[in-house]
Amino acid sequence: MPKRVSRSLLNFGINLFLDQVLKGQQQEQPKPAIPELGDVSPVLALRDKEGAVVVVIGRRGSGKTILCQRLAEIIGRPAYAISPEQAPPKWITELQPAQLDELPPPWSTLYFDDIPSYLGSRDYYDIFARQVEKLIPMVRHRRKLILIFSAQMASQADKYVLDADLVVLKAPSVLYADVERPGVKRLQDRAMQHWKGRTDGWLQRHCYVVSHMGEGLVRVDLPKAQVEQGTGLG
């Protein structure tokens, strides 16, 4: 066999061997683990704040309620909720909008579960709007509260998005795609690469966190109280 041919075959064999080694190394490298909500610094930073505003945006049934409850658990303060559609678990105290002048006490967490629920009744909405208008300017220093607003689209929580310390995105609704705020829509588009092709169960257990520090995909574990009671996602 001519030397030129034998050398070509040798080079081909070496290249083939190196390709297999490189492929094997790539397959052996594990994918980066998705951090849990309680392990990311923008969420943990809420513990040290006197007060803050968190906005959760996502379609109905995407796991916003469990996300709000998990945030309350991570923050570690006494937790309160205004939740007209579903009663909160026993470890969270339920309030009515009319009580917001005096409750919750300072150094607490309060979440509003799915803001559109308040818009169905004009009387209910008026009470809610008046109380929240008074609450927002005082939340960080005078009232010392962590407020969590849950809504299906940002335009239902305009004032709160503009004043937010943290925005948490769940999978969006196609129905609201054309009416969503452009800024939030751009964030949702960046998160879409993580949501494409995923099951509903996976989407319920993950979210996209956006803060002044950065943004990224995060896993959401069930609150310990739900695990102990055997309660599923809500």
- Do 130 and 157 fall into the same domain? yes
At residue 49's C-alpha, the angle toward residues 46 and 52, to 5°, is: 70
Percent of the chain with pLDDT over 70: 74
- Do 95 and 125 fall into the same domain? yes
Burial class (CB in 10 A: 0-12, 13-18, 19+), 70: buried
d(CA 84, CA 113): 8
Contact (CB, 8 A) for 59 and 90: no
pLDDT at 154: 76
Structure tokens at 158: 């305009």
- Do 112 and 52 fall into the same domain? yes
How many independent structural domains does the chain possess? 2
Q: Which residue has the tokens 């945030």?
A: 71
pLDDT 10s digits, 64-82: 999 999 999 999 999 999 8
- Do 135 and 86 fall into the same domain? yes
Question: What CATH number did the domain enclosing 134 receive?
Answer: 3.40.50.300
pLDDT at 83: 85
pLDDT at 5: 47
- Do 174 and 98 fall into the same domain? yes
Averaged pLDDT, 22-45: 78
d(CA 45, CA 75): 9
Domain containing 204 equals 37-229
- Do 20 and 101 fall into the same domain? no
Q: Quick check: is 234 in a domain?
A: no
- Do 124 and 210 fall into the same domain? yes
- Do 224 and 130 fall into the same domain? yes
d(CA 86, CA 114): 10
Percent of the chain with pLDDT over 90: 42
The residue among 194 and 3 whose pLDDT is bigger is: 194
d(CA 215, CA 152): 20
pLDDT at 9: 47
Averaged pLDDT, 34-47: 95
Please state, as a whole number, how many other Cβ atoms lie within 10 Å of the Cβ of residue 175.
11
Q: 172 preceded by cis ω (within 30°)?
A: no
- Do 23 and 63 fall into the same domain? no
Q: Quick check: is 200 in a domain?
A: yes
Burial class (CB in 10 A: 0-12, 13-18, 19+), 127: middle
Task: Give just the sign of the alpha carbon dihedral 110, 116, 119, 124.
Answer: negative
Q: Is the pLDDT of residue 219 over 70?
A: yes
pLDDT at 234: 47
pLDDT at 134: 77
| 3 state SS of 125 | helix
Q: Quick check: is 185 in a domain?
A: yes
- Do 142 and 204 fall into the same domain? yes
- Do 20 and 49 fall into the same domain? no
pLDDT 10s digits, 119-154: 555 555 666 777 777 787 788 888 999 999 898 887
pLDDT 10s digits, 155-211: 666 555 667 899 999 998 888 778 788 888 888 899 999 999 999 999 999 999 999
Conformation bin of residue 76: beta by default, left when phi > 0, alpha when psi is -120 to 50? left
- Do 19 and 130 fall into the same domain? no
